[in-house]
Amino acid sequence: MKSTGIVRRVDELGRIVVPMELRKTLDIKEKDPIEIFTEGDSIILRKFTDSCIFCGDSSDAIRFEGKIICKDCLTKLKGF
């Protein structure tokens, strides 16, 4: 993990602001969904992308009955 050197305070409603420079660098726009992870005592924010429910891959993913599945896993499922 790389430090940006940017420090922000949590406001009275529990919010923090992601600086404009980081939003531009990571191509995060207003209303984009952000995933929140924890690792030990760290909070990790990541721009959300749809990914396969089986392997987590986001390339060649399609939506099937409300779920995301990649073409590789779909091919494997057809083999059963």
- Domain CATH number, residue 15: 2.10.260.10
Q: What is the pTM of this model?
A: 0.60
Q: Give per-residue pLDDT as tens, 2-51.
A: 888 999 999 999 999 999 999 999 899 999 999 899 999 999 998 888 88
Domain count, the chain: 2
73 shares a domain with 60: yes
Range of the domain at 3: 1-48
Mean pLDDT value of segment 46-75: 86
26 shares a domain with 2: yes
Collapse the DSSP code of 52 into the 3-class scheme (helix H, G, I; strand E, B; otherwise coil) and give the result: coil
67 shares a domain with 44: no
- Please state, as a whole number, how many other Cβ atoms lie within 10 Å of the Cβ of residue 61: 20
The set of residues, in sequence order, having a beta carbon less than 8 Å from that of 33 and lying 6+ positions away, is: 47, 48
34 shares a domain with 10: yes
**CA 68 to CA 51: how far, in whole Å?**
6
Q: Residue 50 half-sphere exposure, CB side, CA atoms within 13 Å?
A: 10
Q: Give per-residue pLDDT as tens, 7-18.
A: 999 999 999 999
